[in-house]
Structure 1
């Protein structure tokens, strides 16, 4: 493999620009094989939630890994400015406004995005993923994988800790806008470890009361539907978001409240309509005609509504790899559909993209995913629904 332009001739870089939230199986095997051959060498982990997989292979005479990550001095100044801003916000005797916290988080986001651009600008993506993987798999033992420079690791860690500290501060109210900014910061940095805790604080953190001295806090109501994680953010933490009571309550209010309200007033509307129709006939008395019309229309609507609900809750045309296990109640299938769809995306991103190769995945991680799916009353790759099995 020829070295990429803009990179030292003694260094080879593999960048997979394809979106892959989970490590590819072949890359993971190479990574494990290299670790077994050189147990004393530390290898970098996959940058989760970043989308890009970056592996760096250097010769023994290559320059330091920090040359691949040119760290400008202004990054240190930005970190110092963020630290001073955090000190000012945390030491205030009054509650910081949402705008001040938003400006602080946007500063963290600018640092994260600038760092990502600085890293990506040092290399150019010119090789196909398959060819580079084959080249890496046949590489000689003189190549090794190097870690990110300590300066970059320090900047990433400092920015992540500052964002987490401000969002966790007791005097900061976590609004949906601030939560979205925080998730964007951690996603750009590749540090999603704090997302579940922040999602938990979103609905359980005490709410600071304004115009109180000293500052007092009100007890939150975590199961209230307004405390549900927004859907575009909830996919980052399934355990804390989709499986929570607040999200289920929110889904019920958003999608089922109006139909149930209409269903509640339907008998009264049908009774009124039947009473009016009974006056337009002469074959029987008005009382009997009203009862017959009322029972007939109620039976028709009840039958068609039940069949429609069963058809909607049991349809699987929109399911890719994860389906419901037999015996799951229809009500649970509907209320947990977003959870199943998110798990389906995770499984589809991890496994093979070709439909005819599904079922050939193997490895400890894949077995863990299958067990994780089965514990949620779901089935990964049901045989009768796979291509060529029906």
Structure 2
């Protein structure tokens, strides 16, 4: 089996390298013995002579260059990893086709043909298509071969070319984009998706926001989450009146302006994976620590229990009246009062125990816990915020339990200060394992 080595960016057989390295004092017969190997490799015929000077260096270099393997050789001389590289590397034609598809999708969302604001289904379709393109690009890790890059050697040269004509010719012959890479196309996907959400006629819904966050998380570009979340809470609502679009201001403190917790958790995971502490803190402040989030949680989780608790006395009085009708030991009014008091006592005791159990549960806490004196209702309302800080502390601190408390550095001090300002404690000694 022939041995292939890498030398100065080219692949050369080991026999040709040995032929180059032979000293001049060796006998002509030894040189003649090398020629069959070169002839078999290059397919050329050589004339041998007893004069050693005739086997000059220029001729040997020319023969070795003809033996050099190209940058895209036959797959039989490629290693498995390079063979996968040659099979998976995207071409310029494919990248330009994807670039054209991105431009088409963006124009359909920003400049619809009917002149009306695009519907939610259309925006979701565009974002899903951009997500599919991102997946197809991320599946191919290697970049394009360097030989595809435009170089001076590959450009046609003419004898009568001047500086002005060369400049005009380069401008006229330029096709945008002149050269694309998967990295530049991924950056373009991120930019176009952000432009779509910033377009004033596009109304931001939770589904659109979720698709955008998933796409940027896939691209590992969470830098725009802070501005997009602020835009989601404050962007005016477009309304089509005839042929004109009117905009209605939105109060950022309302419940419908709150970022859904599932979306906020995905965005926080992307910021944590990027190891960006300021961005993680900003995401927590614009999602879980807003008044709109508090109102949204009260509507989602406290509205139904509060309604049932308000209707409990009426139901208890109706049951007490029916119970008093089945007894003969006391008057009906007296029996109704006793039964009503019993029902209310039972309901109040059970509701109080349930409230204490829900608001004081701490099994889910790891490193960030509530400070002393924080009301129970506030602990329940802000539990998602505390859990978010707990995730950030776990990502920036040591994963080993026995090393907790040894963290140091500027970022860790900032994290400890931010947690303390919000009525929480980081690594309270009395709650650590073995310190009870």
Q: How does the TM-score come out when normalised to structure 2?
A: 0.62
* 1:133-212 paired onto structure 2 within 5 Å: 151=181, 154-210=184-240, 212=242
Query: Partner of 1:82 in structure 2?
Result: 102
Structure 1: unaligned runs, 5 residues or longer:
1-7, 11-66, 123-149
Higher radius of gyration, 1 or 2: 2
Match of residue 138, structure 2, among 89, 96, 116: 116
Q: How far, CA to CA, are the matches of 2:248 and 2:369 in structure 1?
A: 41
Q: How far, CA to CA, are the matches of 2:375 and 2:90 in structure 1?
A: 55
Contact 2:398 2:407 in 1 (8 A): yes
Is the partner of 2:203 in helix, strand or coil? Answer: coil
Asked if 1:325 corresponds to 2:371, the answer is yes
Kindly state the Cα deviation for residue 333 of structure 1 after the two structures are TM-superposed.
0.8
Contact 2:371 2:425 in 1 (8 A): yes
Asked if 1:267 corresponds to 2:289, the answer is no
Q: How far, CA to CA, are the matches of 2:141 and 2:407 in structure 1?
A: 32
Q: Deviations over 1:21-48 (max 9, x none)?
A: xxxxxxxxxxxxxxxxxxxxxxxxxxxx
Contact 2:365 2:387 in 1 (8 A): yes
* 1:167-316 paired onto structure 2 within 5 Å: 167-210=197-240, 212-235=242-265, 236=267, 237-316=283-362
Query: Partner of 2:156 in structure 1?
Result: none
Contact 2:143 2:182 in 1 (8 A): no
Cα gap change, 1:98 to 1:272, in 2 (>3 Å): closer
Cα gap change, 1:365 to 1:9, in 2 (>3 Å): farther
Q: How far, CA to CA, are the matches of 2:350 and 2:121 in structure 1?
A: 51
Contact 2:99 2:185 in 1 (8 A): yes
Query: Partner of 1:138 in structure 2?
Result: none
Q: Deviations over 1:215-261 (max 9, x none)?
A: 12233344443443222211223222212233222221221111111
The structure in which a higher percent of residues are helix is 2
Kindly state the Cα deviation for residue 301 of structure 1 after the two structures are TM-superposed.
2.1
Q: How far, CA to CA, are the matches of 1:155 and 1:368 in structure 2?
A: 36
Q: How far, CA to CA, are the matches of 1:76 and 1:340 in structure 2?
A: 46
Query: Partner of 2:129 in structure 1?
Result: 107
Kindly state the Cα deviation for residue 105 of structure 1 after the two structures are TM-superposed.
1.8
- Between 258-267 and 302-311, report the one with greater CA deviation: 302-311
Is the partner of 1:216 in helix, strand or coil? Answer: strand
Contact 1:356 1:387 in 2 (8 A): no
Structure 2: unaligned runs, 5 residues or longer:
1-5, 9-85, 145-179, 268-282
Query: Partner of 2:418 in structure 1?
Result: 372
Is the partner of 2:141 in helix, strand or coil? Answer: helix
Q: How far, CA to CA, are the matches of 2:369 and 2:142 in structure 1?
A: 38
Contact 2:118 2:202 in 1 (8 A): yes
Query: Partner of 1:96 in structure 2?
Result: 118
Cα gap change, 1:375 to 1:101, in 2 (>3 Å): same
Kindly state the Cα deviation for residue 270 of structure 1 after the two structures are TM-superposed.
1.0
Q: How far, CA to CA, are the matches of 1:339 and 1:207 in structure 2?
A: 28
Is the partner of 2:286 in helix, strand or coil? Answer: coil
Q: How far, CA to CA, are the matches of 1:179 and 1:9 in structure 2?
A: 52
Cα gap change, 1:277 to 1:179, in 2 (>3 Å): same
Contact 2:143 2:181 in 1 (8 A): no
Cα gap change, 1:70 to 1:383, in 2 (>3 Å): farther
Q: How does the TM-score come out when normalised to structure 1?
A: 0.69
Contact 1:75 1:111 in 2 (8 A): no
Contact 2:258 2:296 in 1 (8 A): yes
CA-atom RMSD in angstroms: 2.8
Q: How far, CA to CA, are the matches of 1:212 and 1:356 in structure 2?
A: 67
